[in-house]
Structure 1
Amino acid sequence: MMSSTAPPDLAAGDGDGDGYMTLSLAAATTASEYASVASTFDPLLSALPSSPPTHAAFPHSPASSSFVDPPSYADVAASSSSPHSGSSSASPRSARAAGLEYTFIAVSDPAPETEPAATSLVPGSAPTYISYLVTSVRRGEHRRHAVRRRFRDFVTLADRLAESFRGHFVPPRPDKNTVESQVMQRDEFVAQRRAALERYLCRLSEHPAIGPSDEFRVFLQAEGKMPLPSSTDVASRMLDGAARLPRQLLGEETVSAPQDVLQPAKGGRDLLRIFKELKQSVVSDWVGVKPPLVEEDKEFLEKKQKLQDWEQQLTSSSQQAEALVKAQQDMGETMGTLGLALIKLTKFETEEAMYGSQRIRAADSKRIATAAVKASRACRDLNTQTVKYLDTLHEHLGIMLSVHTAFNDRASALLTVQTLMSDLASLQSRIEKLEAAALKIFGGDRSRLRKVEELRETIRATEDAKCCALREYERIKENNRSELHRLDRERKVDMLEMLKGYVKSQAAYAEKIVECWETVEEETSGYARRADCIAR
């Protein structure tokens, strides 16, 4: 049972956007009443659970509500054990788990902790947060590593991976959603966050570049609290950039440091670079001036367009899968309601029976009620299987977020190269103008010649930055290329496994339901023959 305690006042940044949808109160009450009443009439029904199984749900759609939508399949798949935790799940992922760097990854034991006293302005009112036990076993090692991590540490990990693996399809971390943390029950919220974080780590471990990386290993194995990256706050980065801007404009600080171009300018620490790249983007898009370097990889552009079309088809398919799961859930609930009604009818006929025909009708009603219960349970089990296999659609829809980020990394790196090349052209033009003006003065203009030397020094620094930016751009292009090949291979395997598993589960449970009703048909055939004799 879920706790009725109000959600805690979690620390900032510890909200979770990977929410679960729950069964409506009415459905839960009906199923519970159904099970308790039915079990008193037939031993077959006593095996029913006293409360309905908690199914997980699709991610939110724009028109959905997390409190009234029926359960669907994204979280059912999540609730089952992952390949890393020793489950025998037959999901398409398990085939890729064989060569992973880590053989076991789990997030468990959520526990409240208090922030250090220094962070609280009022004595005795320090905010609290939830930490999770992250357990992992690396392939080839017998030692099991266990460290405590909070949601902020997962954010730090995601930021570091985004910096280190530009151009890769880095699995997105669970979003933080403070609204859901306030409206959901505390135990439910923490449980959902734990499951979401475990799925996130498992997806990272499956990535061929991130799984063996030092960043991931440190997160899983380093004892103590994770250090936060420098200047994590956006406002702090913008203030740093504003402080540097006057020195950059006066030439007291190198405008384009080679190490700075390896990361996007949008970090906020280099406002001058942001302004220059924004100007270059506007010139390329609106003025119609061809940039000095353009994207000419036709194969990449074709695959990018195909992936955009694939995403649209995935979105449509996922919506239809949600409708299917809802329909199957409604079928199971309706069948269960029918069984409950027939059980009540059986009870009435049995208690009020005065004639043998009434007892015969009661017996037949009991058989049909039993069959309805079995069919209802089969529908619920079938829904779980449907969720398990069709969740592949949601998995690949989530991958598209990573694809967009990787392509944005490529566009950002290209824009940096274009801006630096434009800067070089502008600096060279200024040198030519200064040299031409100096030649008009007898003996030369020393101040202009000194300025020319300063500009040449700036050109050398900008050339170094351009070389670094070009190498980064080529590295991101290569990462994109390898990731596209990997995604294409995995997509074919995943879709095939999804269809095979879905078809087999549908056929198996359809056969089970048919057998159930065929049994009832045989058991009630004598009653039907008597009715035919009366009619004759």
Structure 2
Amino acid sequence: MMRQENHGDEISDLRESQDDMESLVLDEPPSSSNGQSSPSSSSAAAPPSAVIDRQTSASQHFNSILEPPSYADAIFTSFDSSASASNGHDSPRPESDPPARSEFLKVWVSDPQKELELSNSLVPGGTSYYTYLITTRTNMPEYGGDGSEFTVRRRFKDVVTLSDRLSESYRGFFIPIRPDKSVVESQVMQIEQFVEQRRAALSKYLNKLAAHPAIRRSEELRVFLVVKGKLPLMRSVDVASRMLDGAVRLPRQLVGEAVDANEAAQPAKGGRDLMRIFRELKQSVVNDWGGVKPMVAEEDKEFLEKKEKVVELEQQLSNMSQQAELLVKAQQDMGETMGELGLAFVKLTKLETEGAMFESQTTRATDMKNVATAAVKSSRLYRELNAQTVKHLDKLHEYLGVMLAVNGAFSDRTSALLTVQTLSSDLVSLQSRIEKLEAAASKIFGGDRSRMRKIEELKETLKVSEEAKACAVKEYERIKENNRNELERLDRERHDDFMGMLKGFVLNQAGYAEKMANAWEKLAEETSGYAKDGS
């Protein structure tokens, strides 16, 4: 009890010293490292959510005392702050039109609303879900031309449907990865925080789709952004109907009935294509363990080399991402340590001031207050530097997500090649069966009608299978071309993105280092008498 009372007295004394600490108001507005002044930005003053505020209670008291009105003067405005403010990714509402250029397609996600779903619900009273207002502005002709604006309401299930449709229609493209369902996070986090996090993630995802040169023109995205009402679900989306459909088709597949040629070129869909999945699995095992080179193999050496480089790039990005997190933590810890140092000197200054009987004590108290001033400036500058560091180095995390999209496109290529290999093996098997039946029938005078009828059936199946293989080869070549174009685009965009990341990171490190150096240089001038005394 006594310790609590002493602690309360200490806080009260510190609050009384607030007037004495007004000299901690920071000085002139900041300037960039190239000597040009930059406008302060109030939005940059708040550190991002990725940086966790772990200030101790003593440091919180310290901040409550030393929070001058000119705190924003500590901000070093990033060279790209104006551009990042207008990118629209995290803005809940479209405050202004995107910058004028030949074509643009910008999306905003805002206004989450809770709604009740009564139909097909096992929960008494229905289940609830959130919808989001999707606002789109564009001048693209696919959306109606210049000045077009659309608003629709969508739920997360609609986003999942959009993602699935794009995966089917744009095989071989680096399709941005949609946000996770985050079931666990929704149960652990506060609902308001979870909804806001999902809103921001959806906004970022939809703008990535809108920036993709092929997907932005897709009918799937246009319908999602423009057409009001519920999106129609894909055929046989539930597991039960898929398994039922697969069971109905199973006898036909067992007797070797050929499937539609165009359908054969597409990837197998769950329970609906059980026998095909088994055949492709068998072909995959033969490729890996059979010791026999498949009739159709990946022979694009340039692609295989690039694929290896992509794997290496992913490993390097993962390592860089971990190092970036360590840097952010170190800068955060340094800022907090500086704040604690300032608090310690505040307490020491108060002690020296209250008990001052000689001029030397007053001088010493003034010097201690100057040290506290420099420490609190450095603490705030470290916090602002960390916010900028997170903003720029977050590009590394984004590209880890891009690597997932790249791997997905490569999987499309592997799947398409496996389909071609499986159909090629089926053709060889059919041809062999036909030859054996023909040889057996030729030994019988006048032929064997049952064998001849079976031969005709197999020849018809062979013809359809050849058409299916032609479609599968065409699909495989299309995916290869998509992979090639996407790898070229990735190289171009990665160069620009990484150059921007490095430029922003270096300029901010230099700018904030200069501000911190100025704070300590001023302290050195204020305490220059120490050097004379030492001499």
TM-score greater than 0.5 by the shorter chain: yes
Shift of 1:175: 1.1
- 1: distance between equivalents of 2:521 and 2:135? 50
- 1: distance between equivalents of 2:349 and 2:150? 58
- 1: distance between equivalents of 2:277 and 2:508? 54
Q: CA separation of 1:373/1:205 partners in 2, compared to 1, >3 Å: closer, same or farther?
A: same
- 2: distance between equivalents of 1:333 and 1:144? 46
Shift of 1:266: 4.6
Residue range with higher mean Cα deviation, 516-525 or 160-169: 516-525
Alignment-derived partner of residue 366 in structure 1: 369
Q: 2:116 aligns with which of 96, 114, 117?
A: 114
Taking structure 1 as the reference length, what is the TM-score of the superposition? 0.82
Alignment-derived partner of residue 269 in structure 1: 272
* 2:248 is the alignment partner of 1:248: no
Asked whether the equivalents of residues 100 and 206 of structure 1 are also in contact (C-alpha less than 8 Å), the reply is no
- Give the secondary-structure state (helix, strand or coil) at the position aligned to 2:152: strand
Q: CA separation of 1:357/1:223 partners in 2, compared to 1, >3 Å: closer, same or farther?
A: same
Asked whether the equivalents of residues 51 and 387 of structure 2 are also in contact (C-alpha less than 8 Å), the reply is no
Q: CA separation of 1:347/1:512 partners in 2, compared to 1, >3 Å: closer, same or farther?
A: same
Shift of 1:256: 2.6
Look up the equivalent residue of 1:141 and give its one-letter code.
Answer: D
Alignment-derived partner of residue 428 in structure 1: 431
Q: CA separation of 1:382/1:427 partners in 2, compared to 1, >3 Å: closer, same or farther?
A: same
Alignment-derived partner of residue 128 in structure 2: 128
Asked whether the equivalents of residues 114 and 126 of structure 1 are also in contact (C-alpha less than 8 Å), the reply is yes
- Give the secondary-structure state (helix, strand or coil) at the position aligned to 1:226: coil
Shift of 1:238: 3.0
Shift of 1:261: 2.4
Alignment-derived partner of residue 341 in structure 1: 344
Q: Deviations over 1:129-156 (max 9, x none)?
A: 1111111101243232111111111111
- 2: distance between equivalents of 1:207 and 1:99? 15
Q: Deviations over 1:298-341 (max 9, x none)?
A: 11011111111111111111111111111111111111111122
Gaps of 5+ in 2: 1-47, 76-80, 92-97, 140-144
Alignment-derived partner of residue 3 in structure 2: none
Q: Kindly, what percent of the aligned residue pairs are identical?
A: 60
* 2:337 is the alignment partner of 1:308: no
Alignment-derived partner of residue 74 in structure 1: none
Alignment-derived partner of residue 166 in structure 1: 171
Q: 1:23 aligns with which of 44, 52, 63?
A: 52
Alignment-derived partner of residue 107 in structure 2: 105
- Give the secondary-structure state (helix, strand or coil) at the position aligned to 1:265: coil
Asked whether the equivalents of residues 35 and 46 of structure 1 are also in contact (C-alpha less than 8 Å), the reply is no
Asked whether the equivalents of residues 338 and 375 of structure 2 are also in contact (C-alpha less than 8 Å), the reply is yes
Asked whether the equivalents of residues 172 and 401 of structure 1 are also in contact (C-alpha less than 8 Å), the reply is yes
Alignment-derived partner of residue 90 in structure 1: none
Q: 2:238 aligns with which of 223, 233, 242?
A: 233
Asked whether the equivalents of residues 167 and 409 of structure 1 are also in contact (C-alpha less than 8 Å), the reply is yes
- Give the secondary-structure state (helix, strand or coil) at the position aligned to 1:330: helix
Alignment-derived partner of residue 439 in structure 1: 442
Alignment-derived partner of residue 37 in structure 1: 65
* 2:111 is the alignment partner of 1:83: no
Alignment-derived partner of residue 8 in structure 2: none
Q: Deviations over 1:16-58 (max 9, x none)?
A: xxx965625x52745532221224xxxxx34459xxx9xxxxx
Alignment-derived partner of residue 260 in structure 1: 263
Residues 335-414 of structure 1: pairs in structure 2 closer than 5 A: 335-414=338-417
Look up the equivalent residue of 1:105 and give its one-letter code.
Answer: V
CA-atom RMSD, angstroms?
2.4
- Give the secondary-structure state (helix, strand or coil) at the position aligned to 1:406: helix
Alignment-derived partner of residue 323 in structure 1: 326
Shift of 1:394: 1.6
- 2: distance between equivalents of 1:372 and 1:168? 51
Alignment-derived partner of residue 225 in structure 2: 220
* 2:154 is the alignment partner of 1:149: yes
- Give the secondary-structure state (helix, strand or coil) at the position aligned to 2:491: helix
Taking structure 2 as the reference length, what is the TM-score of the superposition? 0.83
Q: CA separation of 1:401/1:457 partners in 2, compared to 1, >3 Å: closer, same or farther?
A: same
Asked whether the equivalents of residues 333 and 376 of structure 1 are also in contact (C-alpha less than 8 Å), the reply is yes
- Give the secondary-structure state (helix, strand or coil) at the position aligned to 1:270: helix
